[in-house]
Amino acid sequence: MKRKKELILMFISLVFSILIVMFFPSNIGKQALIANINLNEEKSYLAQKIEYVSLEPIDVTKVYHKGNLIGILYDAELIQKAIDMEEAKLAGTKFEGYKVDISDEIYILKEKSFWKYENKDKEILSYITNNNLLVVQAVKIEIVRDGEVIDTIYVKSIEEFSNALRRFALCFIDEKVYAALERHENILDLTTYGVQDKSIYIEETIKATPTGASTNELFADEDAIFMYLCYGRDYELEYYTVVEFDTLSGVASKAGLLPKQLLAINEDIDNINQAIVPGQQLIITYFTSPITVVVEQQRLVQEVTYPTESIYTFDIKVQRGEVVEDVAPATGYNDATYTDIYVNGILTSYRQDSVVIRVEPTIGQYRYNMQDYDNRGIFFSLPVNNPIITCDFYCYANHHGCDFIDRYNPYGDVLAAADGTIIVKAYNFTMGYHYYIDHGNGIIARYLHMHTPGYYEVGDLVLRGQVIGQIGNTGLSSGPHLDIGFYIDGELVDPCWILPCEQAGRW
């Protein structure tokens, strides 16, 4: 009986041994067999063969990119070593001090497995580096317009972006006003004549999110961000070479920039009164920003109002050939308050907030005793509506006139500055469409750069304030404006000797 029990135990042991061999085979000499086993494992970007099955679970690290398995990593410290090496490479560059990390597109899963795969740690690391998945810690800035992201950039910090944005905003608004608005102070309405900025805002929404970015796509510093805000991603800078007698204000005017904009994009210029020398190179590229800065500017001005045509009455009691002035004509004026709206430095619209009549104009009253009297005298007024002077006499070399624009209409009316006779109507390469008008008393005016040929012909008489054409940009001109010049006895003089330039605004 005892012997029988021993035989039964030996049989059970033999069967159990066979089962162990069947279900837990030795890895010795079995690599080819194991490699052919279909394990239904998830597929990886890097194909890794199974070398053997372990009797004990092995620690493995699965590396995913955008949800797809790259491969199985065995040296868990390999990525950290690569991060440390990448940070060391940044030393001495403009990215020194930036913290390196793996991209948030990478997901790492640590788990245990009985399958031992071939080692492809180097290939996995190469995939990460070749796809720029080692990134510096940064902030993603999204520019959103009408609910749509129009551009995305990466910067080191929100602080750097905010500083660059402030620099860009100061190209369009007074710094003291901007500082007051930052402190949430109210800007009081004007009580004396002048102009002041009242508010500023950006039409787009700016979203900031901490993230990682490769150094290839990162705006490394505040200056780089500022230039992006000025010109966007792809731009070529345009330069102007200074000539003798140039001033910064004159160069800005020719380029269509505000003086403070010229200062902002030329770091070597400290103030608008700084001397510039012939041969000096200045950046004059106009802004093409991806964001829209809107500034509302309040303007309180004295607006001159002109009398209507004088009243002439025939009086038989007046000696024949004489004229008696009973009431001399005189201008009046209003106090008008406007809000001008500038978009990235360009006046796009306005609204009139109030008008207070201070002095009514006086209509001239005359009595005469002649049947053909029609002499209204010479009385000069400004040659455009809503006048702004953008460039004075000699504001740059060889500028012999005075440049006027219509504040609210780039192609507004050109007005005769006084009664006169048209003596030249022509076009040439430099002056574009132009008139010469003889205003009498040895005064001849030239009206340059008109949009189209004037409305009247040589020999026609025009009256002060009469519309004779449109402001234009023909000939050698950098933007729509009227360049008016005056000859006295054949010599060019400053137009403001003749015109009431004090009635015009200035940039």
Break the chain into its structural domains and give their ranges.
19-131, 240-287, 292-372, 376-507
> Per-residue pLDDT tens for 179-222?
999 999 999 999 999 999 999 999 999 999 998 888 888 898 99
Q: State the Cα–Cα distance between residues 220 and 234, nearest whole angstrom.
A: 16
Q: Which CATH superfamily is domain 240-287 in?
A: LysM domain (3.10.350.10)
Q: What angle do CA 435, 439, 445 make, to 5 degrees?
A: 40
> Who has greater pLDDT, 275 or 293?
293
What predicted TM-score, i.e. pTM, was given to this entire model?
A: 0.64
Average pLDDT over the chain reads: 85
> Per-residue pLDDT tens for 45-55?
888 888 888 88
Residue 370 is predicted with a pLDDT of 52
Query: Got the DSSP string for 90-136?
Result: TTTSTTTTPPEEE-TTEEEEEEEEEEEEPP-HHHHHHHHHHTT-EEE
Contact 464, 419 (CB under 8 A): yes
Q: Does domain 292-372 have CATH number 2.20.230.10?
A: yes
Coil, strand or helix: which one is 379?
Answer: coil
CATH T-level assignment (fold) for domain 376-507? Glucose Permease (Domain IIA) (2.70.70)
Residue that is written with structure tokens 């990682």 in the block: 212
> Per-residue pLDDT tens for 76-121?
788 888 888 888 888 888 788 788 888 888 889 988 888 888 999 9
> Per-residue pLDDT tens for 397-419?
788 999 999 988 899 999 999 88
> Per-residue pLDDT tens for 379-395?
688 999 999 999 999 88
Q: State the Cα–Cα distance between residues 282 and 89, nearest whole angstrom.
A: 36
Q: What angle do CA 482, 253, 204 make, to 5 degrees?
A: 105
Backbone φ, ψ for residue 127 (5° rounding): -60, -45
67 DSSP 8-state letter: T
Judge whether residue 479 has pLDDT over 90: no
Tokens representing residue 333 in the block: 């004026």
